[in-house]
Structure 1
Amino acid sequence: MSGLTAFGRFSEPALLILVSLADGPKHGYAMQDDIEALTGERPGPGTLYGAVRRLEEQGFIRALPERERRKPYEVTDSGRDALRVELARMRAVATTGLRRLALP
């Protein structure tokens, strides 16, 4: 397995973190706020930081130097690539699903 599929049941938090970081570095609390604004649900710290750790291990994100006791993260080039692939896959599924719903 490669890309976000390797995250199994943790793929949704990983995806949301990559989407959050796609527009620039954020620390954990800012990611939680951003994900909540996007989905209406706030990930808990265990879910968030577990996914952050796995994304870091895969090289999809990297930690930046601490600022004001907060540790920001940024998406890497391989993280952007994985995000593009997953979003394209999701778009294909959504397009097909919506087309099928419109059938009589």
Structure 2
Amino acid sequence: MSKTRYSKDWKQIATAVKDASNWRCTKCDRICLRPGEKPSELTLSQRRVYNLQVHHYNFDPSDNRKENLGCLCSGCHLHYHRFRRGNISPGQLSLFQLNDA
């Protein structure tokens, strides 16, 4: 039996997280492109840099708690996974929930 890593509603969850961040990377503050935006002055490879992705801070794609999800541009997301570090550590996740309350 294969285990599904992402929930069936992942696309909706990810879009809601991106909307809540106003389509900005939470690490470098880059404003990213929304679906359907294709500025003519940007090449395809440049547009990829402005791609916003939702990251699971604890690296568990089945854990979709609000405090475990954050928006990262493609460059910051790659860096976070490559070095398994970033601007938020898994130990800090509970702090976000307390501060948001």
State TM-score, norm by structure 1. 0.26
Higher helix fraction (1 or 2): 1
Higher strand fraction (1 or 2): 2
